[in-house]
Structure 1
């Protein structure tokens, strides 16, 4: 059994742009990530919280939907107003609404005067490896993820909302990556990978035995400190979903594929003609984050004895050839 290693440590270098210092969403100034994990007794699930500075005042944001077979709470208000006003949380499908309720409680405790909130909670279905009907996420677990959010490199693989997910025939989970732009600003992403297709690494297929797992989906969170408006963030979010195809997604009919993009910058002031670099940063970051979600995962046995194998690292390195 191998030890988890990030794709770049295996010699998989995606694209040409430089990474941020951590190669993570937390390279974007002010963006924090916290996670809580449940394992054992037929459960493999959890919560991942992305907490950007300035969320309480509202941050420009957008949502892109590749395939709407999912339960992403809060999308209509983002579409209507072009902002997020809460942290972004991820979890397993049937725990989505418990997480949203717990997030509201956490927010109300911090603002005794508010009478309206739009919690943002996304999900993928981890029912292959976790007894999803038990809905084990408690308010305490949600609040812990929020309270422990930090600017450190987020844990990847079998952690938080990715504890029970699979992708491209292998055990997957949480992944993250970032790119630095010549302007000095950053694009960072975090993914919850749980979708089908043929794993492809730098254009080379890595066949896997099929996993009979329902509810294949992907959640992608894109953060930046570029001064973009909601419309421009929507353009970034769409490129994030496009990038799933670079690692082999088949965009199956039952897949809920979503991207949420937000900026921590102030007043929007960015020309559309200058978006080539941010577009490249998003696609490279998502591709690498998805690969990290796989190479950082461990073989996991869960609900009803089902097992998802981690991708053998030599399957990847053997296909890369001389480097």
Structure 2
């Protein structure tokens, strides 16, 4: 979005404007794009996950399959990487993640894999469930602190949002004492809105749409406070035009890489950082995607960059 002259919010970004600006957080992805199959895996790998990291889940609408969410709610921790994929592959991905973890810890007897999904059936033959352990392991093994690829990659290869082709997006904000980063898998309905300006699109008949949001930080917040951050991530969907459809599974997972003590009165700036980074990540997930024709000849068109420039500049909203 920044390449189009559109700047979301007022807080500064991290060096990469990505979730990997949070120290130690890595991202890896595996992409399958072969005609009728447009899907993949996106892995968010926090540092020290095996020791348990404070975490929380917020549910905007629970029409989805977020494996492992109840234990995160109960204990307020994550103990594995967070993986994203297509709906009917979520169970295979969870099993492959457990296998990957067991290979690395011969003493483990209980693990809580955290795997989310959105429904990419419009562009991918979802019933084939093409994800294999090799795809999952490749995403995990390739994870790095580099700028993650955005758009039609990983778990976002076959997704669409707000009438356009979408996918993976990321962004970050720097606040006092730390960084907040977000990564999204966009696949939901509504009217694309850029800084209050509607961007018209032909509707896509792609039921089962959802959005997965992962928020990372190195602030010393606890699980309860992370729940408050996660809820702000869900709120950010409205800023880009989500209609929160009844068949949409809208989830946010928030975690921190650092334990500490943080006063609730000091959450104003982190709240703003979450809202801004999620909003920009959602917009990046669309502007970084390309037109894709997939299963059954269905096509999701990329949002026209010139249209965004024209409409936002015309309303005085582009920088």
| Equivalent residue, structure 1, for 2:300 | 308
Aligned partner of 2:170 in structure 1 is 176
1 CA distance for matches of 2:22 and 2:275?
Answer: 16
Is 1:79 aligned to 2:73, yes or no?
Answer: yes
Following the alignment from structure 1 to structure 2, what is the Cα–Cα distance between the partners of residues 239 and 224? 14
1:56 partner SS: helix
Residues 35, 293 of structure 2: 8 Å contact kept = no
Instruction: Spell out, residue by residue over 1:163-206, the C-alpha distance to the aligned partner (whole angstroms, 9 max, x if none).
Output: 000000000000000000133x1000000000000000010000
TM-score (norm 1): 0.97
CA RMSD of the aligned region, Å? 0.6
Q: Give the structure 2 partner of residue 88 of structure 1.
A: 82
Q: Find the partner of 1:237 among 220, 230, 236.
A: 230
Q: 1:132-171 to 2 correspondence within 5 Å?
A: 132-171=126-165
Q: Deviations over 1:121-167 (max 9, x none)?
A: 00000000000000000000000000000000000000000000000
- Cα separation, 1, equivalents of 2:109 and 2:185: 31
| Cα distance in 2 for residues equivalent to 1:265 and 1:182 | 15
Q: Does 1:226 align with 2:219?
A: yes
In the TM superposition, what is the alpha-carbon distance from 1:113 to its structure 2 partner?
Answer: 1.1
Q: State the match for 1:290 in structure 2.
A: 282
Question: Which blocks of at least 5 consecutive residues in structure 2 are unaligned?
Answer: none
Report the counterpart of residue 4 of structure 1 in structure 2: none
Structure 1 residue 114: deviation in Å? 1.1
Matches of 1:86 and 1:289, distance apart in 2: 23
Runs of 4+ in 1 over 2 A off after TM superposition: none
Quick one: distance in 1 between partners of 2:130 and 2:307?
A: 35
Structure 1 residue matching 2:303: 3-state secondary structure: coil
Query: For 1:37 and 1:165, how far apart are their aligned partners in 2?
Result: 12
Residue 217 (structure 1) shift: 0.3
**Map of 1:120-139 to 2, 5 A cutoff?**
120-139=114-133
Q: Name stretches of at least 5 consecutive residues in structure 1 with no aligned partner.
A: 1-6
* 2-structure distance, mates of 1:12, 1:286: 15
Q: How many residues align?
A: 315
Partner SS, residue 239 of structure 2: helix
Task: Work out the CA distance in 1 between the residues paired with 2:4 and 2:291.
Answer: 18
Asked if 1:50 corresponds to 2:44, the answer is yes
- Give per-residue Cα distances to partners, 1:277-316, cap 9 Å, x unaligned: 0000000000000000000000000001000000000111
Structure 2 contact 25–46 (Cα < 8 Å) conserved = yes
Equivalents in 2 of 1:253, 1:53: separation in Å? 35
**What corresponds to 1:281 in structure 2?**
273
TM-score by structure 2 length?
0.98
Give secondary structure in 1 for the equivalent of 2:150: coil
